[in-house]
Homo-oligomer: A and B are copies of this chain.
Amino acid sequence: MGSLFRKMNASALLVGAIFLAACACAQEAAEAPVDPMAEMKDMMSSHKVMLDTLWVMITGMLVFWMNAGFGLVESGFCRSKNTVNILSKNFIVFAVSVLAFWVVGFGIMFADGNSLLGTQGFFLSGADNSPATGDDYQGVFASLNWTGVPLLAKFFFQLVFAGTAATIVSGAVAERIIYQTFIVFSFILVAFLYPITGHWIWGGGWLAGRGFLDFAGSTVVHSVGGWAALAGVIILGPRAGKYKADGGIQPIPGHNMTSAFLGCMILWLGWYGFNPGSTMAADPAAITLVAGTTTIAAATGLISGTLTIWLYSGKPDLGMAVNGCLAGLVAITAPCAFVGLGSAAIIGIVAGILVVFGVLFFDKIKCDDPVGALSVHLLNGIWGTLALGLFGTKESLADAGLGAGGHGLLLGGGASQLIAQIIGIAAVGVFTFVISLIVWVIIKGLMGLRVTPEEEMLGLDITEMGMEAYPGDSVRGGLLHD
């Protein structure tokens, strides 16, 4: 609204004058017919860049909004004595991700380099390669040259994705990890681990070369977060009292189901940025297909998760409905642009079943994951990535340059595509899990990993954060401080 913009827009308003000139020019078409067309060309190209930029920025904002959703789901599923701690972690982890991804992560993930990692573009240095201008291309982020939005739009959209991976870890390690330890691990995850495997797949690395496909990140984002979380859960050990000496499992109900519900709705809304936004272009056919498959899978995951736990335990547990919905969303993330609505329904149904038995399974092997993050993000990240190979239509996979000529497996996917998916899942899983284990162990040695048993019993809010989420007066009419 500064006067700068008056000038900027004033020039846009010159369009009328330009056209009048163009038309006048056209009347003397015999002499110089080229100019008005060139004017039009420039304006049309700029309109397309505007359209794409609006879409990428608005969907990026929706993905940013998912941070609020993760904070509410995770804290809602945990006890009130750890609420401030969980919210604080989810809050600062995005800020740390901003720095980590700006300084080094974005360069490793998308800059030119080799098939393992990008080696330049730190601090977003290097020429902007956007709007992509064919031969005139000068930038160092060739792997993102397929979308014509400004470099800062690419950065913003990819940054909010990177932040998601770290928040996935947050829930799994909740209620016992030391605050600063989590921050340090998150920085390393977003600065190095996430971008490296991301480079393999979205940065023009070796998995992209092998035909591995992951439209919006079932593997790139969700499984990576899940593997890092699994390593953390193993090193940390379960919460005090969760697994009894007699082999029984102590349920630890969350403190606020309103938070969990609202958090899940925020995440679902955010997913309309995550998946449809991953077109990174205002492509009507792709956007609407992706929004459609995303909606169907979320709905069937929610219903199937609810029915599964209802049949299993006798009650339609809201926690499992939430996780079933999120599972459907995670699972459709990889294949959302390559399948139809019917396949999306099946993918969601399987996800909802998978997440219920996943939660039971991880409890059985004494992996204590307070919010079900491993079942939602890791298991269903894998399932979604496989589902792309199973359900992706030949046409869409052929369009994507892969799976063509495949001998239709199940509902039309190519066997070669399925093999590529399995290789990608395994490679990303082994790398992220092993390196995460090593990082967790090193951090444990350097600064400690877990709060003391006494701190855990009192709650991390008072001991780590020095405050309560809901001080006493909130339930005693507020008379305490007067």
- Beyond A4-B400, A315-B465, A337-B2, whether A299 also contacts B98 by CB under 8 A is yes
- The interface bits of chain A over 1-27 (1 if a CB of B lies within 8 angstroms of the residue's CB, else 0) are 111111111101101110110110011
A285 CB contacts on chain B under 8 angstroms: 150
Extra 5 A-B pairs, beta carbons < 8 Å, given A2-B215, A12-B281: A5-B337, A80-B473, A99-B303, A250-B481, A468-B477
Give 29 A-B contacts (CB < 8 Å), ordered by A residue. Answer: A1-B214, A5-B278, A5-B286, A7-B400, A9-B146, A19-B38, A19-B40, A19-B44, A47-B48, A57-B272, A58-B58, A64-B272, A72-B258, A81-B477, A88-B316, A92-B306, A99-B299, A149-B288, A152-B291, A250-B481, A253-B471, A253-B481, A255-B473, A256-B474, A257-B467, A262-B262, A316-B464, A316-B465, A318-B465
Chain B minimum-CB-distance residue to A98: B299
Q: Do the beta carbons of A1 and B278 come within 8 Å of each other? A: yes
A122 at interface, CB cutoff 8 A: no
Cα–Cα distance between A432 and B64 once the two chains are bound (Å): 35
Task: Indicate which residue in B150, B282, B298 contacts A53 across the interface (CB closer than 8 Å).
Answer: B282
Chain B minimum-CB-distance residue to A322: B91
Cα–Cα distance between A458 and B75 once the two chains are bound (Å): 26
A446 at interface, CB cutoff 8 A: no
* Docked complex: A406-457 residues within 8 A CB-CB of B: 456-457
A83 at interface, CB cutoff 8 A: yes
Q: Do the beta carbons of B470 and A255 come within 8 Å of each other? A: yes
Q: Do the beta carbons of B399 and A1 come within 8 Å of each other? A: no
- The interface bits of chain A over 192-204 (1 if a CB of B lies within 8 angstroms of the residue's CB, else 0) are 0000000000100
A291 CB contacts on chain B under 8 angstroms: 57, 60, 152-153, 156
Task: Indicate which residue in B80, B96, B124, B134 contacts A17 across the interface (CB closer than 8 Å).
Answer: B134
Q: Do the beta carbons of A287 and B57 come within 8 Å of each other? A: yes
A: interface residue count bin: 35 or more
- Beyond A5-B279, A282-B50, A315-B467, whether A258 also contacts B257 by CB under 8 A is no
Task: Indicate which residue in B13, B132, B342 contacts A148 across the interface (CB closer than 8 Å).
Answer: B13
- Beyond A255-B473, A467-B318, A474-B256, whether A265 also contacts B71 by CB under 8 A is yes
A131 CB contacts on chain B under 8 angstroms: 284
A12 CB contacts on chain B under 8 angstroms: 48, 148, 281
Task: Indicate which residue in B23, B88, B302 contacts A318 across the interface (CB closer than 8 Å).
Answer: B88
A127 CB contacts on chain B under 8 angstroms: none
Cα–Cα distance between A457 and B478 once the two chains are bound (Å): 9
Cα–Cα distance between A299 and B65 once the two chains are bound (Å): 14
Q: Do the beta carbons of B276 and A57 come within 8 Å of each other? A: yes
A153 CB contacts on chain B under 8 angstroms: 284, 287-288, 291
- Beyond A81-B473, A265-B71, A287-B57, whether A34 also contacts B38 by CB under 8 A is no
Q: Do the beta carbons of A280 and B9 come within 8 Å of each other? A: yes
**Among the interface residues A202, A257, A338, which one has the most CB atoms of the partner chain B within 10 A?**
A257
